């Protein structure tokens, strides 16, 4: 397996069908190496389909990850919390059958609580989720994503610190980091992110990187919408250079509106840098 794989958030636009199997085949045809299964509107994939998806991905040597539903809030109470946890666990169960390496999660909202209170609440819920999944034999990694709005749990510090929970690692959304601060858009700044990963999680964090990237439109409140690289100020070439500088391994998932167009642009840039080293 190549060390750093590039792929799409869901089935590529140019795929003949909209289903995951068609998507995996198209990812292979395009010369990409991975795909994220988008369960963002709910976990609707059955067990039989999941087995078929897993077999196809293994046969074609395409690595998979899963994105859990958007409507999750582990800093909630009652029914909202119970449903949030069930959505994560269902994503993990189906993801494991598919052979996915990890489940990406939007962990929750801060809702006016102190950062420490919110952090402890979300951490304890993740510990509980992990214990339940392990008891079922589901060992898939849970990935907490860096988020693009200040109201959400998911700063760089949040996602690195919560990796103290066994089986939990960050999903670094570089576009969200940029949208949240207006920074994190140069080789030096990207390097500072990967340096913090190494400081907090060790080289394991760089050998098992999971990243999201796209062009992005943002305001002083953070993320507004995803754009293609060409319409955005996001410096994807410098990000590719930084991936090469740190010799990272893992998966980079492109979430631009033109999915495979920007995924291929990023891969070409990265390959060109590596080949010229």
Count CA atoms closer than 13 A to 48's CA, side-chain side. Answer: 0
pLDDT at res. 2: 60
Whole-angstrom Cα distance, residue 43 to residue 26? Answer: 22
pLDDT at res. 86: 98
pLDDT per residue, tens digit, the chain (277 aa), is 369 999 999 999 999 999 999 999 999 999 999 999 999 999 999 999 999 999 999 999 999 999 999 999 999 999 999 999 999 999 999 999 999 999 999 999 998 789 899 999 999 999 999 999 999 999 999 999 999 998 999 999 999 999 999 999 999 999 999 999 899 999 999 999 999 999 999 999 999 999 999 999 999 888 999 999 999 999 999 999 999 999 999 999 999 999 999 999 999 999 999 998 7
Whole-angstrom Cα distance, residue 109 to residue 258? Answer: 29
Whole-angstrom Cα distance, residue 267 to residue 206? Answer: 18
- Beta strands (DSSP E) in 58-149 are 63-67, 102-105, 108-109, 141-145
Supply 127's token pair: 């510990």
Domain locations in the chain as residue ranges: 4-276
Handedness of CA 269, 270, 271, 275 (dihedral sign): positive
pLDDT at res. 217: 95
| Predicted model pTM | 0.96
Supply 235's token pair: 């410096």
Fold assignment, 4-276: TIM Barrel (3.20.20)
Cβ atoms of 162 and 168 closer than 8 Å = yes
Structure-token match 């169960």, residue found? 93
The H-assigned helical ranges of 31-114 are 47-60, 78-98
DSSP type of residue 38: E
The length of the chain, given as a count of residues: 277
């Amino acid at each position: 397996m190549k060390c750093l794989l590039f792929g799409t958030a869901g089935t590529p636009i140019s795929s003949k069908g909209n289903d995951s199997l068609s998507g995996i085949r198209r990812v292979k045809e395009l010369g990409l190496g991975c795909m994220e299964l988008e369960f963002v509107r709910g976990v609707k994939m059955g067990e039989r389909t999941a087995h078929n998806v897993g077999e196809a991905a293994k046969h074609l040597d395409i690595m998979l990850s899963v994105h859990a539903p958007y409507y999750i809030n582990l800093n909630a109470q009652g029914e909202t919390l119970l449903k949030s946890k069930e959505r994560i666990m269902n994503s993990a169960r189906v993801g494991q059958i598919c052979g996915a390496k990890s489940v990406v999660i939007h962990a929750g909202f801060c809702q006016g609580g102190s950062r420490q209170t919110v952090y402890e609440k979300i951490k304890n819920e993740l510990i509980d989720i992990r214990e339940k999944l392990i008891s079922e034999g589901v060992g898939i990694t849970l990935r907490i994503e860096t988020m693009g709005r200040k109201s959400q749990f998911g700063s760089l510090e949040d996602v690195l610190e919560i990796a103290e929970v066994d089986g939990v690692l960050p999903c670094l959304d570089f576009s969200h980091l940029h949208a949240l601060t207006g920074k994190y858009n140069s080789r030096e700044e990207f390097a500072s992110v990967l340096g913090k990963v190494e400081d907090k999680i060790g080289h394991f964090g760089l050998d098992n990187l999971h990243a999201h990237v796209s062009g992005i439109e943002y305001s002083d409140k953070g993320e507004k919408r995803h754009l293609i690289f060409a319409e955005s100020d996001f410096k994807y070439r410098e990000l590719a250079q930084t991936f090469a500088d740190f010799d990272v391994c893992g998966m980079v998932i492109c979430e631009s509106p033109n999915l495979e167009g920007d995924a291929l642009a990023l891969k070409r840039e990265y390959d060109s840098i590596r080949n010229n080293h």
